[in-house]
């Protein structure tokens, strides 16, 4: 292979790699701090937080379920036809740190759920079906 062809192939491969990286989805983030509890309430809609909590989860196992569902949720391009959120999730950290408030649209069994930060109504995120099933088991256990 001539040097000219080699350089052309390398440029092509680097361009493809850069394009693939730009297509990757972003995930949600939380503070890199210990979580004290996760509170869940029926949502009152965009821009509001319902502090009449249905659930207060403070055991490590349940907190990890919420943490994984949130941190692994991937951004999506479209929020077309978005209805009012079903639940408010409040992630409370240990110490005097601010809480994260996240809206949740709980999917049906074996479907994705959708999440969105209270402070960023421009970006929606979807969970895995496994996360949906775990959240359903916690929130619909009645």
Between CA 139 and CA 93 the distance in angstroms is: 21
3-state percent helix, strand, coil for the chain, nearest multiple of 5: 30, 25, 45
- pTM confidence score: 0.80
137 compared with 21, residue with greater pLDDT: 137
pLDDT digits (tens, 9 = 90+) for 56-71: 999 999 999 999 999 9
pLDDT tens digit sequence for 86-134: 999 999 999 889 999 999 999 999 999 999 999 888 889 999 999 999 9
Distance CA 90, CA 100 (A): 6
């Amino acid at each position: 292979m001539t040097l000219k062809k080699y350089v052309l192939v390398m440029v092509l491969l680097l361009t493809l790699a850069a394009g693939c990286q730009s297509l990757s989805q972003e995930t949600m983030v939380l503070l890199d701090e210990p979580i004290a509890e996760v509170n869940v309430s029926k949502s009152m809609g965009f821009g509001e937080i319902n502090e009449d909590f249905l659930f207060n989860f403070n055991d490590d196992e349940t907190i990890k379920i919420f943490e994984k569902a949130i941190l692994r949720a991937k951004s999506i391009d479209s929020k077309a036809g978005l209805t009012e959120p079903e639940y408010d999730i409040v992630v409370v950290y240990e110490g005097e740190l601010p809480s994260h408030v996240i809206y949740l649209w709980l999917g049906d069994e074996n479907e994705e759920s959708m999440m969105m930060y209270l402070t960023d109504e421009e970006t929606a995120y979807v969970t895995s079906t496994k996360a949906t099933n775990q959240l359903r088991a916690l929130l619909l256990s009645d």
